[in-house]
Amino acid sequence: MDGWEASRRIRANPETARIPIIALTAHALTEDVSKAVDSGIDAYETKPVVYTRLMRKIAALVKD
């Protein structure tokens, strides 16, 4: 199972559907971003990860 399928399964389960998901990937092509969005992720971060940007995304997702 890849991360896209894992994300779809997390979203499909009512008990886990609201867990924030950030994709951390080396794949930065437009089609990869589309796959991520289609799988239900909340944010997308390419590698190498910029720590401060990642932390801002995490903070924005967990502030609710």
Query: How many domains does the chain fold into?
Result: 1
Give the DSSP letter of residue 49.
Answer: P
CA pair distance 25, 62, nearest whole angstrom? 21
* pTM metric for this prediction: 0.81
CB 5 within 8 A of CB 39: yes
Which residue range(s) make up the domain with 53? 3-62
CATH number at residue 46: 3.40.50.2300
Question: What pLDDT sits at residue 53?
Answer: 95
pLDDT tens per residue across span 4-50: 899 999 999 999 999 999 998 887 777 878 888 888 999 989 889 99
Band of pLDDT at residue 64, cut at 50, 70 and 90: low
CA pair distance 49, 23, nearest whole angstrom? 11
